[in-house]
Amino acid sequence: MRTASHYLRRVTAAWFLVQGLAMAIAQGAPATMVVPLDDLGLVESSVGIVIGRVERIESVQDPSGSRLFTRIRISVEEALKSEFPDGEITVRQTGGVVGDLRQWIDGSPEFALGERVLLFLDEDRDGHLRVAHLFQGKYRIWRDPETGDEYADRPTPPGVRVRAAPGASHPGAAGHHDIRKLREFGEQIAEAVRTRSRVHEKGLRRFHSSVASEVSGTIEVREAFTYMDPPSRWFEPDDGTPVSMQINSAGEPLAPTNGFDQVRAAFQAWSNVSGASFEFVDGGTTSAAGFNRDYVNAVSFRDPDGEIQNPTGCGGTLAIGGFYASGETRTVGGTTFNRIVEGDLVFNDGWEGCNFYENFARMAEVATHELGHVLGLSHSSDPDATMYSMAHWDGRGAALRTDDMDGLRAIYPTSDSTPPDSEILTGPTGSITATSATFTWTGSDDQTPEGSLVYATRLDPLEATFSAFGSATSRTVSGLGLAAYTFYVKAKDLAGNEDPTPAGRAFTVAPPSVTLDVARAGSADGTVTSSPGGINCGGGCSTSVPSGTVVTLTATPAAGAEFRVWRGACSGTSTTCILSVGSASSATAVFSKIFTDPALAGGIVIKAMHFTDLRQAVATLRNRAGLGVFTWTDPTLSAQSTPVKAVHLTDLRTALTQAYQAAGRTAPSYAEAITPRQTSIRASHLSELRTAVRALE
């Protein structure tokens, strides 16, 4: 969203008049604020061309106090077109400064005392010389200190946008300089005067220092005649009072409805903007006309005072809209404004046959644009806005675009004490591992449109205060450390109300999670638990923990078993393992079967339990290798009732060999082959099997 100052002009005077030069057009196409003339066009449309020096600048207020002019006296060094036998001329421009009264027309040429100038001259209705085509007819002359060459320099002044001439590489926006070598430029002008110069009614003419009666009145000598740009607005809407505009009863005879309905449609366009307090009302007709300080807000036609140079070839100035303002000030939305006390709109003369007067939509668009200046708006940078400096002529007529309405709301906000609401649309919540986060938000208000709200943000605990308000609706915060955060956003409306309960979203930046896998191995059962929790399993299990977490694993053997050793990320024979998990890790707890009679010495009595122990150990190993249940001979060996046999020993060897093979291991070898009903079972046979079991754990 743009603030009020974006849409305004600025000046520092107590009393002044600011007039916004309207759109101008080129034949057959939409055009910019000013349609540029080429060199030949300037030469042909000028009554005289001179090189000289500014000797005196004086502003004059006529005795009625309603008109303001500035006279610039030029000592003539060289005449390139027409004759000036007195050696000096006086150029009269509308506007200037006398006391507390100021007047300026955007696009006027600027002058400074003592500067050398190249001037293309025209005559106003009263016979006074003036610069042709506003700023286009004035060049400042300066000398290059290194080369000594002289140059003619024509800057595009503030408040003006120029459409690029055919073949030009730039649009001639404000600040652009057209710079020529003076000698070459002068020769080109002289040649054009000789061969192509427009011949006036009396041919090439002789001008004297005073060609018409000068106005009397209050005179002030000035050092410059320069651009002024004040922030000004009407104060009436603050009290609910509309601004009354009257239409000169003469109307425009070539326009449908004499131009009245076009102007009234423009009144309505600016009067029906939600969230804005401004309103124009039709005050009826009036005989007031022109830019006169007569305290009548008037719309007039055909340039009744002759202040606007007529178009040439359907190119030129269409209309001018502006205002008088007093020294009274008021602050709105942080911007201080002078008070507008009168506004006027003047349509130019000479547009017959150019499809302007006759085209309802075109005339209505120009009226809407110029009334925007009357109420205090400057040109918009949005090409689609009606307040853009280029006429669209797309059939919109008296219609406003979003930027126009935002500008009006900015300087004429409605009375509003209800704060807006803020809402965070996207952004992280809970725990994240990224060190940056992006948030988007919006807001709503009962009077201010969503697009005109502004927002401030804060990231707790890194930021103690909210940011400055701005139009952004997203923000990315980066470089976040491991901590808890809350992101806040609050909206502010055009009336300056701020959301008292900002929207917030809490999140925590945590280290990334890593996986800890725990497995069991060996010939017996057991469980493994963890602290912090997450693992509590009698088989293989897995958990995720933040990287860097210290985990204590505890191995607990089942009945008839013992913990043997840790493998993988853990090591040692202690039943506890303290592990810092910095990346994906795995640990294995090995449990061993406790055998009856651990030491089988020669001469010991072989018992059924010795075989049962081995069967349980081998069965566990087979299960861990993914093998099925083995079919044992005499599945149940009962003490003192089931005699042990060679086949029981053979079964154990076979079942264990299969477990080795499933594990991809080389099967164990034995010292003696077993022959049923021939081999006597000895303790050494059982010891070999126990050793092979331990080797596979």
In this predicted structure, the answer to whether residue 378 has a pLDDT above a threshold of 70 is yes
| Cα distance between residue 647 and residue 685, in whole Å | 12
Q: Residue 175's pLDDT is what?
A: 54
Contact 18, 9 (CB under 8 A): yes
- CATH code: domain 421-509 is 2.60.40.10
When pLDDT is averaged across residues 186-190 and rounded to a whole number, the result is 93
More reliable by pLDDT, 641 or 375: 375
Lookup: tokens for 619: 């069965």
In this predicted structure, the answer to whether residue 389 has a pLDDT above a threshold of 50 is yes
In this predicted structure, the answer to whether residue 229 has a pLDDT above a threshold of 70 is no
Q: Residue 671's pLDDT is what?
A: 92
CATH 3.40.390.10 in the chain is located at 4-12+233-411
pLDDT category of residue 686 using cuts at 50, 70 and 90: very high
pLDDT category of residue 676 using cuts at 50, 70 and 90: confident
Contact 176, 162 (CB under 8 A): yes
> 300 vs 66, 249, 259, 378, CA distance in Å?
16, 8, 10, 21
In this predicted structure, the answer to whether residue 45 has a pLDDT above a threshold of 90 is no
Q: Residue 380's pLDDT is what?
A: 83
Considering only the top CATH level, what class is 513-593? Answer: mainly beta
Instruction: Give the closest residue to 54 by CA, choosing from 118, 105, 120.
Output: 118
In this predicted structure, the answer to whether residue 258 has a pLDDT above a threshold of 50 is yes
Secondary structure of the chain: what % helix, strand, coil (to 5)?
20, 35, 45
Q: Residue 245's pLDDT is what?
A: 97
Any idea of the CA torsion for 355, 358, 362, 366, to the nearest 10 degrees?
A: 110
pLDDT category of residue 6 using cuts at 50, 70 and 90: very low
CATH 2.60.40.10 in the chain is located at 421-509
pLDDT category of residue 391 using cuts at 50, 70 and 90: confident
pLDDT category of residue 609 using cuts at 50, 70 and 90: very high
In this predicted structure, the answer to whether residue 399 has a pLDDT above a threshold of 70 is yes
Handedness of CA 130, 133, 134, 138 (dihedral sign): negative
pLDDT category of residue 169 using cuts at 50, 70 and 90: very low
Q: Say how many CA atoms lie within 13 Å of 236 toward its Cβ.
A: 14
In this predicted structure, the answer to whether residue 394 has a pLDDT above a threshold of 50 is yes
Q: Residue 288's pLDDT is what?
A: 95
| Cα distance between residue 96 and residue 71, in whole Å | 9
Q: Residue 466's pLDDT is what?
A: 98
Lookup: tokens for 41: 């066009």
| Cα distance between residue 295 and residue 287, in whole Å | 13
Contact 588, 571 (CB under 8 A): no
Helix (H) or strand (E) holding 284: strand 280-286
In this predicted structure, the answer to whether residue 18 has a pLDDT above a threshold of 80 is no
Could you tell me the end-to-end alpha-carbon distance of the chain, in angstroms, rounded to an integer?
Answer: 73
pLDDT category of residue 125 using cuts at 50, 70 and 90: confident
In this predicted structure, the answer to whether residue 231 has a pLDDT above a threshold of 90 is no
Instruction: Give every CB contact of residue 112 below 8 A, 6+ residues apart in sequence.
Output: 54, 223, 224, 225, 226
Q: Say how many CA atoms lie within 13 Å of 256 toward its Cβ.
A: 13
Instruction: Give every CB contact of residue 404 below 8 A, 6+ residues apart in sequence.
Output: 372, 377, 380, 385, 386, 387
According to DSSP, residue 428 is labeled -
Lookup: tokens for 421: 């609401």
When pLDDT is averaged across residues 421-438 and rounded to a whole number, the result is 96
Instruction: Give every CB contact of residue 199 below 8 A, 6+ residues apart in sequence.
Output: none
Give CB contacts under 8 A, 24+ apart, made by 350-359: 350/310, 350/311, 350/316, 351/311, 351/314, 351/318, 352/254, 353/314, 354/25, 354/27, 354/311, 354/314, 356/25, 356/318, 357/252, 357/254, 357/255, 357/259, 358/254, 358/255, 358/256, 359/393
In this predicted structure, the answer to whether residue 489 has a pLDDT above a threshold of 90 is yes
Mean of the per-residue pLDDT values for the chain? 86
CATH 2.60.40.1140 in the chain is located at 513-593
When pLDDT is averaged across residues 110-116 and rounded to a whole number, the result is 95
> 211 vs 66, 185, 205, 440, 446, CA distance in Å?
23, 28, 12, 68, 62
Q: Residue 214's pLDDT is what?
A: 55
When pLDDT is averaged across residues 417-441 and rounded to a whole number, the result is 95
Architecture label for domain 4-12+233-411: 3-Layer(aba) Sandwich (3.40)
In this predicted structure, the answer to whether residue 212 has a pLDDT above a threshold of 50 is no
Query: Which of 197-211, 370-384, 594-608 shows the lowest per-residue confidence on average (mean pLDDT)?
Result: 197-211
| Cα distance between residue 694 and residue 697, in whole Å | 5
Single pTM value for the model:
0.55
pLDDT category of residue 159 using cuts at 50, 70 and 90: low
In this predicted structure, the answer to whether residue 379 has a pLDDT above a threshold of 50 is yes
| Cα distance between residue 200 and residue 209, in whole Å | 20
In this predicted structure, the answer to whether residue 174 has a pLDDT above a threshold of 90 is no
Q: Residue 539's pLDDT is what?
A: 65
pLDDT category of residue 277 using cuts at 50, 70 and 90: very high
Lookup: tokens for 6: 């974006």
Cis bond upstream, residue 532 (ω within 30): yes
When pLDDT is averaged across residues 293-316 and rounded to a whole number, the result is 86
What whole-number percentage of the chain has pLDDT above 90?
61
More reliable by pLDDT, 176 or 95: 95
- Helices H / strands E in the chain, number of each: 8, 37
| Beta-bridge mates of residue 541 | 518
In this predicted structure, the answer to whether residue 608 has a pLDDT above a threshold of 80 is yes
| Cα distance between residue 18 and residue 39, in whole Å | 30
